[in-house]
Amino acid sequence: MFKDAFAVAQAAPRTHRRIVTGHRDGASTVLSDERRAAYAFQTVEGFEQTYIWAAKGIAEADPDEVEHFLPQSALPAPAGSLVQIVTFPPSGAKRSTDPAAITEEYRARLPGLADTFERGGSMMHTTQTLDYGIVLDGELWLELDGGETARLQPGDIVVQQATRHGWRNKGTRPATIAFVMFSG
């Protein structure tokens, strides 16, 4: 019984609590306090992505709009920022046998970012952003040119400066990383 309950819990997408502060009537206040469900990719078992926040510059968001927030791109707007949390499944995770279906889902869920992926399924890509990647759980490998890799564990932080890279989960369990991305 516990084994079945554990399997169901593992299959359910994670949620992440997001608290947004701002101003109402000149006073600071909590504008939104909600759980944001991760999007569970259908074509790659265990791959999840959650948009947390996106902003253009440092202007405060309209207090009446924060509950309905969903960015238009998985990359930050010019002079903007974006925060997202991604869970990478282990390399042996089940994948669709249809590469076109995987590409279609990536483009639908990760617009802008999916367009930076190199052809051939390597998942190597280059974004013209400054990214801070903070490993929350599990182990991840950052791959760079020439096959150079860096093994990352919880608490490790990557400062990604618009370099060609790919993320690999060579472990046996999911790995979760928070990305804070900035565009010039």
- 15-68 pLDDT, tens digit per residue, is 999 999 999 999 999 999 999 999 999 999 999 999 999 988 888 888 877 776
Q: Could you give the 3-state DSSP secondary structure of residue 147?
A: helix
Tokens of 166: 């790919």
38-182: CATH architecture: Sandwich (2.60)
User: What is the mean predicted confidence (pLDDT) over 175-182?
Assistant: 97
The percent of residues in the chain predicted with pLDDT above 90, rounded, is 77
Provide the whole-model pTM.
Answer: 0.88
Helices (H) and strands (E) in the chain, counts: 2, 11
